[in-house]
Structure 1
Amino acid sequence: MTLYVHRAGETNVLPPAAFFDEVCRSLQECEEAVLACASVVFTTPYPAESLFEVCRDMDSAEILAVTRRLLKRQLGSNRELAIAQLNACVIAVKASHEFCVTHADESDDARRCAGATQAVIPVLNRALAHLQR
């Protein structure tokens, strides 16, 4: 099923709602993995040494959550805002991935975070491609 949104003289063809549901599920899974990875740092003997990375992961988790809420609420009604948010999400997720992948062999949480961030990037790119049509 294809949804159409009509505004004065404009038609936006939106992907099916099921597509956005899949994107939102992927964002949720990634957010949970990033938060778990950030949280585990506080159980290490010297958590202050990784404060920058924890903040990067927390920022990423926040952006993932906002992106998910925006997509659930709008389903493309403000395409420019959704595109900007998805682009910001890609940047944040890549930043988390860069750090977590370097520690994936040391921690299950870092390995899970590295996998989740790597998996969500193509999902975000597909969502961008749908909205940029």
Structure 2
Amino acid sequence: MGDTALHKTSSPDWSDSASGMSFDMHPSKPVRPSLPNRQSSGTMVVPRDSLAVGPIDLNLGPDDVRTMSPRRTSEDIQALGKEAREELQRHAKALQDSLVKLFNRIEAVKEEHDKLDNNNRFLQKYIGDLMSTSKITSTGRNKK
């Protein structure tokens, strides 16, 4: 009885017992190919005075792809500059117009403020005069 218990624990739980196949019958795991050996690139230290340091002059032929990039002619550059200046002038004109409108609005508000301030002074003087006349009339009635 003890032998059967040891035998059951030693067999893996994930084996396919229904088909009777053991773990050894499964296809083997694929093996990754080894990487090729690389040689060291060494250090990249170059003396300052070396001729290998600096820009390299390239003599490119007319059929080289790097010389076939689209380039702008002087006419294209002038047209782009003119278009940019016109856009800048339109923007400046719009800003000037909005500044003039803002200035006119400020002037209108100042005029309205001055008008209301004058009316306020007039009403204060009028109320003061009414109060003084009411005091005079009220003291005059008490004397009779």
TM-score normalized by structure 2? 0.23
Q: Considering only CA atoms, is the larger Rg found in Structure 1 or Structure 2?
A: 2
TM-score normalized by structure 1? 0.25
Higher relative helix content: 1
Higher relative strand content: 1
